[in-house]
Chains A and B, each alone.
Chain A
Amino acid sequence: MSARPLARRELRDAVRRWWFLVNAGAFALAGVLFILFGQNDAMLLGQRGYARALAGLMQLGLVFVPLMALVPSLAAIAGEREAGTLDYLLAQPVTRSGVYRAKWAGVVAAVVLSLTAGLSVTMAIATARGVPAAPAAGLVVCTALLAAAFVSLGMWVSALTGSRTRATSFGLTLWLALLGLGSLGVISAFVRWGLPARLLEAWSIVNPIEAYRLATLAILDPDLQVLGPVGASLLDALGREGLIAASAGSIAAWTAVCFAGGLAAFSRSARGGRTGSRSRLRA
């Protein structure tokens, strides 16, 4: 007896849904377009032209990858709770943590698969045109990491909320806040209040969306001017490898902390708290 069939079900369900194909198709298409447009730059700048094109793809990714990860993860627990199916699953001989882990693994696998399927097409074309394989692979890994972090965040929110609508509104508010509070977004506030630059740098590493931007730019081409003043300062302080490690580490930490938070919230609800569609089942 195991919760593994639940993970398989999440994955199978996701693959059948429209968003899976849309994600994969959109990323493949956007990537191919960026590469084709980057061809002009490549004639002038060599490989840097392609790196610039991939950086454009990354800018698209930092807006949409979190959203793509949040949509299925926010529904993963709250949706089952709302439909009354969660209680029946929990009435089977599986632990609550087993159910949570299986659903998390299934959603992560689905989201990462859909993103990497699209990105892989782009990377195959990019490497065929002379972009070194290692940075291209690095971009895919960072994108997968960011997706895992936002799936974990989405499932945590989902475990804490009673309905899909509430989970979606909380999750999207968080996404907008993290997106809006990137280093460029808060830089004026830091200037206005005269806060130390180190704090801004730390915030840039801590914010997963900003960390993804820094990591991927450092992987693709650290000399790109799009790194911004905070990124450039961090590059000076940490070096390229240090910046990549710190940024990727931050995203991985978000994944771990959000996963643990969601697991704890879901497990805690067994102790007489939010257990699911109790009102439907109460006699």
Chain B
Amino acid sequence: MIRARGLTKRYGSALVLNDVSFEISAGERVAILGGNGAGKTTLFRCLLGLADFDGTLSVDGLPAGPPGVDVRRRIGYVPQLPPVFDLTLRGFLDLIAGVRGIPAGRTAARLEDLGMSLAQAGGKPLRDLSGGMLQKAYLALALAAECPVLLLDEPAASLDPDSRHELVRLLSSVAPETTLLLASHRLEEIEPLTSRLLVLRDGGIAFDGSLATLREAIGGARPIAESREAVVPFALASAAGRR
């Protein structure tokens, strides 16, 4: 479904992605892990055609990168920092649903699934919504688009524990053929959702495998499930060093 060969991206003199190659099959649930600046969001930007790059990158056999309209049609996306449009929640949902051609009512239904009522919050300006509510609105749109690929950039960053639990439940129920890419720097956040970890570090892939393999690689130094974000880079560094 997603294939990268020699993917390289520079911002000026900064090399963010350096000769990255990987393949993700349809229906795979993959966590893109890495610290701040590791290139997770840059990888998503390349997939969405928002940035040019060297190397090849394709989604469903279609080349990614600008202009990338056909690729974007296949991708539902939740940004890391959901931007605040100068619109009400309803206005925002209608705008993006209109652009994407999402049938009326489907976004509201996904929003309900996430525990948020459009009837109650629809008239509120986006700037008055909490970070968690905003994230749910973006997530509802991504889910309502029913795309074969979902790119979720730190989807639970602003959610409270209950909402995270709801998110996990909702994402677990996404159609099995949907390919899911979750960027995060918190293992605890994505562990229940993913079957494969792709760890970015220093512009390259430091680890590509299952959680069990990573556990094995770090030698049980600390149970992954108990990891906090500060632990992840340590664990990954260890894993990378032992590979």
Contacts and interface: CB of A to CB of B under 8 A. Distances in A.
A88 B79 contact: yes
A91 B83 contact: no
Contacts of A59: none
Contacts, number: 104
B183 A85 contact: no
B45 A281 contact: yes
Contact of A91 (B37, B66, B72): B72
A151 to B, nearest CB: 19
A3 B99 contact: yes
Interface in A225-283: 270-272, 275-278, 280-283
A172 interface: no
Number of chain B interface residues as a range: 35 or more
Q: Name the residue in B73, B99, B101 with the highest tally of chain A Cβ atoms < 10 Å from its Cβ.
A: B99
A272 B96 CA distance: 25
Contact of B83 (A9, A13, A83, A271): A83
A83 B84 contact: yes
A283 B69 contact: no
A272 B52 contact: yes
Given A85-B84, A283-B37, A270 B52 contact: yes
A96 B96 CA distance: 15
A2 interface: yes
B45 A13 contact: no
A94 B71 CA distance: 11
A283 B38 contact: yes
Contacts of B39: 283
A281 B99 contact: no
A38 to B, nearest CB: 41
Given A281-B80, A283-B39, A91 B50 contact: yes
A85 B85 contact: yes
Interface string A64-105: 000000000000000000011101111111111000000000
B67 interface: yes
B40 A283 contact: yes
B95 A283 contact: no
B99 A282 contact: no
Interface of B: 11, 16, 34, 36-42, 45, 48-52, 66-67, 69-70, 72-73, 75, 77, 79-87, 91, 94-96, 98-101, 183
10 contacts: A2-B101, A5-B94, A85-B84, A91-B48, A91-B50, A92-B72, A92-B99, A94-B69, A282-B37, A282-B42
Which 8 pairs, one residue from A and one from B, show the smallest C-beta to C-beta distance? Answer: A5-B98, A283-B41, A84-B83, A93-B73, A272-B52, A270-B66, A283-B40, A93-B72
